[in-house]
């Protein structure tokens, strides 16, 4: 009986030790699990915070980009406003739209004091053109119109009335006018206006 009792006591003792070890392991595991969970929470929060900062930076970058885009758009709109030279070019092109001797070219003579324009120059309609048809000059420049003797009698008459030559057919005849102010001067040969014999002086 004593042997059996001792055996039973030993089993209870071993069982108690096993239970104690199990509880101890559970506590240790719980602590580690808690640390791990805390670590996961901390990492998640850190990541979220980093993501928030990144998102904030990206949003700020988008705002900056949008601001620059707006500025560029504004600048683009301002660039769309025609300059005085572009406006003058458009007015001249419209005026000379039916001039057979005009190909869209405006001769730049802003560095010259005297410019010569032929009267009765060749064109698809015959000798009924001014050449060059359009000239860009500086104020103070003198323009000299010189007759070719072709196409009969011609004259040079400003649309504004600023200048007017005689009606002449003679080869080598000249008429000149000094331009003292910046403006667009449209002129025609009255007898051949219907044939598109027109010209323009752009003073600047």
177 appears as a binding residue in the annotation: no
CA distances from 199 to 26, 102, 175, 184 (A): 105, 9, 14, 11
Kindly provide the b/e burial profile for residues 81-94, where b requires at least 16 CB atoms within 10 angstroms of the residue's own CB. eeeeeeebbeebee
Q: Which helix (H) or strand (E) holds 24?
A: helix 2-79
Evaluate the omega torsion of the peptide bond into residue 132 and state whether it is cis, within 30 degrees of 0.
Answer: yes
197 appears as a binding residue in the annotation: yes
Q: Which of 124, 182, 135, 173 is nearest to 153 (CA)?
A: 173
Binding site: which residues? 154, 189, 192, 197
Binding site for Cu cation: which residues? 154, 189, 192, 197
């Amino acid at each position: 009986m004593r042997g059996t009792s001792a055996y039973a006591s030993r089993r209870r003792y071993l069982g108690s030790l096993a239970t104690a070890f199990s509880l101890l392991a559970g506590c240790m595991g719980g602590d580690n699990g808690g640390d791990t969970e805390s670590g996961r929470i901390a990492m998640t929060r850190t990541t979220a915070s980093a993501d928030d900062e990144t998102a904030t930076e990206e949003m700020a970058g988008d705002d900056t980009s949008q601001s620059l885009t707006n500025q560029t758009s504004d600048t683009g709109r301002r660039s769309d406003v025609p300059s005085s030279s572009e406006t003058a070019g458009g007015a001249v092109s419209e005026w000379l739209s039916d001039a057979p001797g005009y190909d869209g070219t405006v001769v730049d003579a802003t560095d010259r004091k005297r410019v010569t324009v032929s009267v009765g120059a060749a064109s698809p309609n015959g000798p009924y053109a001014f050449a060059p048809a359009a000239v860009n000059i500086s104020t103070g420049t003198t323009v000299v119109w010189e007759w070719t003797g072709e196409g009969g009698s011609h004259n040079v008459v400003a649309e504004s009335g600023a200048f007017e030559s005689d009606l002449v057919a003679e080869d080598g005849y000249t008429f000149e006018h000094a331009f003292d102010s910046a403006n667009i001067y449209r002129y025609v040969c009255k007898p051949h206006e219907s044939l598109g014999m027109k010209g323009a002086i752009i003073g600047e």
